[in-house]
Structure 1
Amino acid sequence: MEMIGYAASALGLVLLFMLSKLILLLYQPQNKLNLPPSPPAWPLIGHLHLLGTLPHQSLAKIACKYGPLVFLRLGTVPTVVVSNEALAREFLKTYDQIFASRPRMLAGKILLYNYKDVAWSQYGPYWRDIRKICLLELFTPARMEASKHIRIEEAYSMVKSIRNNCEGSKVVDVHSQIYGLTRSIIARMVLNRNYFASNSKEALEFKEIVNEYFQLIGVINLGDFIPYVGLLDIQGYKRRMMTARKRMDSIMDKIVQEHQEKKTGVSTDASLDFVDVLLSLRNNKDYQHLSMDSIKAVVVDMLAAGTDTSALTIEWALSEILVNPWVQEKAQQELDHVVGRERKVEEADLPQLKYLQSIVKETFRLHPAGPFLVPHESTQAVQVTGYDIPAKTRLLVNAWAIGRDPSKWERALEFSPDRFLNSNIDVRGHDFELIPFGSGRRACPGLSLGLTSVQLGLAVLLQSFEWSLPSAHEKLDMSEVFGLTLPKVVPLHAMATPRLPHHLY
């Protein structure tokens, strides 16, 4: 008992020492720095208490009071939040290289093989290698062309499933159908095997662990902001991450082994799946940083980023269409004019579907998949618009707030695709009022695949069915849940009425 008392006393002294050091760190004089405006902070936690359950909305309100550039201290982490187009351009274009790194967060360390993926790797030679592989080997026009049959097959497999499920005026689980589509596309392109279409024990385990990864990558882990709290793992996230990583690693090892053992036969280079391509590059002297952990991390990246973001964008688009029925009518008129009702819409039709493209842009504006994009971090101290930004400062670009900025957008809170019909604004990172895929060096390398998947998925849903709410008096819940992405609180369910000849289903 005496030993336990000594141990408790020692632990108390250690915690007291840590807290005192933390207070000194948080509140050391900043007289020499001209920091951006900042709300009052609390001891130890800084401004963490201001985030609330929907941080993108909370920080948008703070920007209304303190301006579009705000300095926060989230625990021990100095952070700047950008909430308008002009400042987004400054940070992501003018000072792109300085803010091209990523913060070291627990999810990246554990779940993504010590930051070996594309999204969370630190700026430097390793990241340049991995990004080059994505741009020159994986997301090329030739590979997009070679894989378009996968996207078409999965899109019409979804249509057939909805057609079978909507008979007898049944309500369709639209959420599950859309997520099934995007996950199947990515699984086939990356792994050459649709784990999400099977109910085998192996497939169910795969789906379960992918869902766990989605959740854990998006959680707010206090240990990322207050390191000493992280040592205690009071939220239990570290334990969950370690368990999930072990399970995922076992699955990844089996997948890699299967790819190493299989015979590719006469397959062309463009027809190989992503794992095949990555394995073939391991001995390429141009990609000397590519390790087996790198391959696993990139595959996990594709599964996570490539399915969730595309699916929730389609779901939000269809939700907005149900709230604004005139949008559906106009989109279907365009589809009937460009495609007709005697054949199925194809990827080749997408460039001609200008109104459909406008719907997707308007959805990205109001419902960006990543409300803060992926966080950036400065590699050195810099002055931006007259303010001092210290090295190792985290940058949050509030894409959600930028898309709703009333000084930029007329009727900013209305869903109005028409605003883009005579506009040159694009989503590819050059127009900073609409940057759902980010911009600059750290823009999403899978932009073309993501955009094509969203446009195709929405096109086949609108061409194939007339959509309506289960009840004429029902009001659709449009609230959102915060995470790395912004899904709907209440998954979408709706009525689908076939509008094409029977043989097209």
Structure 2
Amino acid sequence: MASTITTMTTTTNTFDFQFYAMAASICFISTLLLRGLTNRGSKSKAAVNHPPSPPRLPIIGHIHLLGAVLPKSLQALASKYGGLMKLAFASQSAIVVSSESFAREMLKNHELSFVSRPDFGASDFNIYEGSQFVNAEYGTYWRFMKKLCMTELLSAPQINKFVDIRREEIMRLVGVLVESSANRTSVDLGEELMVMTNNVICRVAMSTRCSASADESKEIRRLVKGILDLAPKFSLGELLGPLGKLDLFGYGKKLKELMNQFDALAERIMREHEERRESKEERERKDMMDILLEISEDESAEVKITRKDIKSFLMELFMAGTETVSVALQWTLAELINHPEVYKKLRDEIQTVVGSNRLVEESDIPNLPYLQAVVKEGLRLHAPAPMIFRKAREDCKILGYDILENSRIIFNVYAIMRDPNSWEEPTKFVPERFFVNSGTEKHYLNQVDIKGRTFNYLPFGSGRRGCPGSSLASTVTHLTVATLVQCFDWKIKGGDKFDMEEGSGLSSGVANPIVCYPITHFNPSENTIITE
């Protein structure tokens, strides 16, 4: 729930170039100040073998080498300077990892040295500062919350309790598309997928949804989108060093306003949950907020979590989950529609396994290997979190290069999963690459999985900081893709193929809306296949 919960994801918004220009003009003062403070306390050290670095300009460093799509820019630089390189961004610097070999060495052989995450400029304006899970320092609180995710909040038994919720929300989506097909009107598929994933997460987390009579989920989506829209601006604010804390452009104030609105909404929903618990009202099942409230009252718990901790966790869940799952679905469906031979092969598999008299179900997924390969390939080309951020906890030597304590690390997942040294024809959409050649007509998936155990494939991160919500994200993605392929054909509005251009900014979302005309093939409400 791509970084999913591994990282606070950023949106596909364009860079604020006016802010960029003003930031660059101030960088000189900020850099001189930072250098003065650094030099005052510096000590002589032995020679350090830094990773390779491109030629840099005074003050701005390597900013001039970056384009609108940051992961792609870093990939291009890595092709010249190697899988491990050091870049300077005005007053900041970072080590960029772009190859499987360096990723394996750092995330497996030296995992504890890189298990922490860096703070960013937004932390100065975050009302939940000190309660974050995603960016929490590796320690008692983080380990407690991660264990809680894996054993309670996002465990397989808990996820399985909400099978009907996922089915209901996907059926709502199917209903919208069937109606559009009947009326021969186009739909923004990305927008509808966003509503669906938002509803799933809201209902699993707090038993709320988006409907004509309940606007809580809509409000949550608005607030989370507003916060995510500010993320690229705070990333640029990092260029200002100490001056970034002054909130010269007012983004900190906007962030606080949005977070305070979310806090008030979450507090109201929390009180409703508490009132139900006090009245002993029977609940069909516990949602995440119910579980968190129970644990907050447990005096024997290893860590005493607060209301602030609960609300911070839920906000991070929405930020990490809704957008990333939706974007992964958009990319995968766009690739499928652009590759009709793959689309037909997947539909034929569903027809063979499921038949023509019922809708595909979650229990069918293990018996649909080509579906699993399609989803894997979509995640490989279009990772939900194209960059993973870490911080060095100590000085460390990585394949001959020195990484100093507190260095910021960027794992460019986008580049790693498109590395020609690891993948044949890496830019092509070829689900068959995930099959073992068994010499028979049966399909056998290879050992590459979404858990980050093979270091050329990291859609949900790896190791201790891997996304705890990956199983939920994977389930929603598989079922949604299978359902839409089983039920619909598609006509693209204004062309024969979707434009697969990545959006600008720090993420790799779609640059242009996925607008198309759904054509009903199988209507699950009538259990009929429609033929033209």
Normalised to the residue count of structure 2, the TM-score between the two structures is: 0.86
* SS in structure 2 at match of 1:98: helix
Query: Who is 1:47 aligned against?
Result: 62
- Superposition RMSD in Å: 2.3
Tell me, yes or no, if the aligned pair for 1:82 and 1:396 is still in contact at 8 Å: yes
Tell me, yes or no, if the aligned pair for 2:27 and 2:90 is still in contact at 8 Å: no
Alignment partner of 2:345 out of 324, 330, 339 = 330
Alignment partner of 2:33 out of 21, 27, 32 = 21
Task: Say if 2:415 is the partner of 1:392.
Answer: no
> Which one-letter code corresponds to 1:446 in the other structure?
G
Task: Say if 2:448 is the partner of 1:425.
Answer: yes
Residue deviations 1:9-42 (CA, integer Å, cap 9, x gap): xxxxx99985533345789898721100011223
Task: Say if 2:255 is the partner of 1:241.
Answer: yes
* SS in structure 2 at match of 1:376: strand
Tell me, yes or no, if the aligned pair for 1:126 and 1:289 is still in contact at 8 Å: no
Could you say if the C-alpha distance between residues 274 and 203 of structure 1 is closer, same or farther in structure 2, counting changes exceeding 3 Å? closer
Query: Who is 1:461 aligned against?
Result: 484
**How many residue pairs get matched?**
487
**Superposition map of 1:438-453 within 5 A:** 438-453=461-476
Query: Who is 1:487 aligned against?
Result: 509
Query: Who is 2:197 aligned against?
Result: 182
Separation of aligned partners in 1, 2:174 and 2:29 = 62
Query: Who is 1:166 aligned against?
Result: 181
* Larger RCO (alpha carbons 8 Å, 6+ apart): 2
Task: Say if 2:425 is the partner of 1:411.
Answer: yes
**Superposition map of 1:36-115 within 5 A:** 36-111=51-126, 113-115=128-130
Task: Say if 2:131 is the partner of 1:116.
Answer: yes
Separation of aligned partners in 2, 1:427 and 1:15 = 40
> Which one-letter code corresponds to 2:241 in the other structure?
P
> Which one-letter code corresponds to 1:250 in the other structure?
A
1:435 Cα offset (Å) = 0.6
Query: Who is 2:6 aligned against?
Result: none
> Which one-letter code corresponds to 1:395 in the other structure?
I
Query: Who is 1:265 aligned against?
Result: 281
Could you say if the C-alpha distance between residues 30 and 477 of structure 1 is closer, same or farther in structure 2, counting changes exceeding 3 Å? farther
Separation of aligned partners in 2, 1:323 and 1:186 = 29
Query: Who is 2:493 aligned against?
Result: 470
Q: Which runs of 5 or more residues in structure 1 are unaligned? A: 1-13
**Superposition map of 1:279-428 within 5 A:** 279-284=293-298, 285-373=300-388, 375-422=389-436, 423-428=446-451
Segment of structure 1 superposing worse, 83-92 or 494-503: 494-503
Tell me, yes or no, if the aligned pair for 2:383 and 2:414 is still in contact at 8 Å: yes
Could you say if the C-alpha distance between residues 329 and 292 of structure 1 is closer, same or farther in structure 2, counting changes exceeding 3 Å? same
Could you say if the C-alpha distance between residues 16 and 135 of structure 1 is closer, same or farther in structure 2, counting changes exceeding 3 Å? closer
Tell me, yes or no, if the aligned pair for 1:309 and 1:485 is still in contact at 8 Å: no
Could you say if the C-alpha distance between residues 231 and 393 of structure 1 is closer, same or farther in structure 2, counting changes exceeding 3 Å? same
Residue deviations 1:96-155 (CA, integer Å, cap 9, x gap): 111111111133453471152321111111111111111111111211111111111111
* SS in structure 1 at match of 2:71: helix
Tell me, yes or no, if the aligned pair for 1:428 and 1:437 is still in contact at 8 Å: yes
1:53 Cα offset (Å) = 1.5
Separation of aligned partners in 2, 1:158 and 1:309 = 18
Query: Who is 2:147 aligned against?
Result: 132
Separation of aligned partners in 2, 1:19 and 1:225 = 9
Separation of aligned partners in 2, 1:52 and 1:115 = 34
Query: Who is 1:254 aligned against?
Result: 268
Could you say if the C-alpha distance between residues 289 and 121 of structure 1 is closer, same or farther in structure 2, counting changes exceeding 3 Å? farther
Identity of matched residues, % = 32
Tell me, yes or no, if the aligned pair for 1:75 and 1:226 is still in contact at 8 Å: yes
Could you say if the C-alpha distance between residues 116 and 383 of structure 1 is closer, same or farther in structure 2, counting changes exceeding 3 Å? same
1:201 Cα offset (Å) = 6.2
Query: Who is 2:441 aligned against?
Result: none
Tell me, yes or no, if the aligned pair for 1:162 and 1:177 is still in contact at 8 Å: no
Normalised to the residue count of structure 1, the TM-score between the two structures is: 0.91
Tell me, yes or no, if the aligned pair for 1:26 and 1:46 is still in contact at 8 Å: no
Tell me, yes or no, if the aligned pair for 1:332 and 1:462 is still in contact at 8 Å: yes
Separation of aligned partners in 1, 2:420 and 2:38 = 35
* SS in structure 2 at match of 1:78: strand
Residue deviations 1:220-277 (CA, integer Å, cap 9, x gap): 5333343233034344321211111121111121121111111453436xx2000010
Could you say if the C-alpha distance between residues 112 and 342 of structure 1 is closer, same or farther in structure 2, counting changes exceeding 3 Å? farther
Could you say if the C-alpha distance between residues 138 and 19 of structure 1 is closer, same or farther in structure 2, counting changes exceeding 3 Å? closer
